[in-house]
């Protein structure tokens, strides 16, 4: 995900939530934008496509790529949700 920032995707942080059974399936990847307005302008579909290509090129299992869920939020929303620990649980 960090490599996507270098390609011009405007997000300030990321959070990856693995599947707790240890498989690469059904993971969630969050793009965190600076504030709500930046979240609205973020091109999640293009970022998701670019990330899938990077995962394929890195040899990530195809099942994991197909079930990966990407989401977008903002630092403002995270703070309003009680902070990072509470927001992502």
Q: Write the CATH number for 58.
A: 3.30.300
Q: By C-alpha distance, which of 27, 26, 31 is closest to 42?
A: 31
Total tally of structural domains belonging to the chain: 1
Q: Give residue 27's domain range.
A: 2-87
27-71 per-position pLDDT tens digit: 999 999 999 888 889 999 999 999 999 999 999 999 999 999 999
Burial (CB count <10 Å: 0-12, 13-18, 19+), residue 32: buried
Q: By C-alpha distance, which of 8, 10, 7 is closest to 74?
A: 10
pTM across the whole model: 0.88
């Amino acid at each position: 995900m960090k490599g996507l920032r270098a390609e011009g995707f405007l997000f300030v942080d990321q959070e990856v939530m693995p599947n707790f059974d240890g498989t690469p399936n059904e993971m969630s990847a969050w793009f965190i934008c600076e504030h709500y307005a930046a979240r609205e302008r973020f091109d999640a579909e293009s970022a998701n496509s670019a990330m899938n290509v990077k995962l394929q090129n890195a040899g990530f299992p195809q099942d994991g790529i197909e079930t990966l869920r990407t989401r977008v939020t903002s630092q403002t929303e995270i703070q309003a949700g009680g902070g990072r620990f509470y927001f992502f649980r």
